[in-house]
Amino acid sequence: MTTSNLSGAPSAVVGVADHNGWAVCVTVAVSAGGPVVVDRRRLELIAPGVPSQPYHHETVGMPPPEAEQLVVRVRDSVMRTTFARLSELREELQPYTIVAMTLRNPPMTYVPVTVAEAHSSYPVTCRADAMMYHDAIVTTAQRLGIQLVLHDRGQEAVRAAERLGVSLEDVERFLQTAGESLGPPWQKEHRLAAAAALSALADRAGVSLFT
């Protein structure tokens, strides 16, 4: 059995583990009555040569007008690149249809409007760049019409087990087997992204994916 959406295309969920400048994406779908990882890749979220952490590095000590100009250029690059890479992912995953995307909860509740605001405190300075990428992913998902599911980091496997009605060991076994089948790289970030996607897919399938 393959779980499909209303269009008849098989459904998939992309688990995203975002970082400053790049993200790990692991896509999980249902095949033959069980879950399978159908894609794993690293996506660059900013164009080559553009500063990837301007709030935390380049703009520190820079005259305000120049700092604002730099951040505008960086944020534009991040938004355009993120949209292009996630659009490519959606196209290359066909015939699967991405019905949801999972993403960790943001490091802050807002994106700094100005460089001065980003530099208002050290914790904000440290998180402003991460918020820029997180916001770009959220905005891209909205533009592509993909439902976004936010989750806490570190609870992915536990949540997947709860949603599937199986043990944590079952989920860990699935993740280990998937990694062995795909080969390297299969690091902690890949496993967490896959577990988050598995949980969201279970919610949308409406049944246990393990037989």
Q: Can you say how many angstroms the Cα of residue 139 is from the centroid of all Cα atoms in its chain? A: 12
What CA–CA distance (Å, rounded) separates 11 from 2?
8
User: Under DSSP, is residue 119 helix (H, G, I), strand (E, B) or coil?
Assistant: coil
Query: Structural domain boundaries of the chain?
Result: 11-205
Torsion, Cα 88 202 95 180, to 10 degrees, reads: 80
Superfamily (CATH) of domain 11-205: Ribonuclease H-like superfamily/Ribonuclease H (3.30.420.10)
What are the pLDDT digits (tens) for 98-143? 999 999 999 998 889 999 999 999 999 999 999 999 999 999 999 9
What are the pLDDT digits (tens) for 167-207? 999 999 999 999 999 999 999 999 999 999 999 999 886 54
The model's pTM is 0.92
Tell me the torsion sign for CA atoms 206, 160, 106, 82. Answer: negative
- In this prediction, residues 163-168 reach a mean pLDDT of 92
Percent of the chain topping pLDDT 90: 84
Q: Parallel, antiparallel, or unpaired: how do β-strands 97-104 and 147-151 relate?
A: parallel
User: Which residue carries 């069980």 as its tokens?
Assistant: 34
52 vs 4: which has the higher pLDDT: 52
User: Which residue carries 């951040």 as its tokens?
Assistant: 71
User: Which residue carries 């280990």 as its tokens?
Assistant: 176
Q: Parallel, antiparallel, or unpaired: how do β-strands 147-151 and 22-31 relate?
A: unpaired
Question: What are the distances in angstroms from CA 104 to CA 16, 133, 195, 203?
Answer: 8, 12, 12, 17
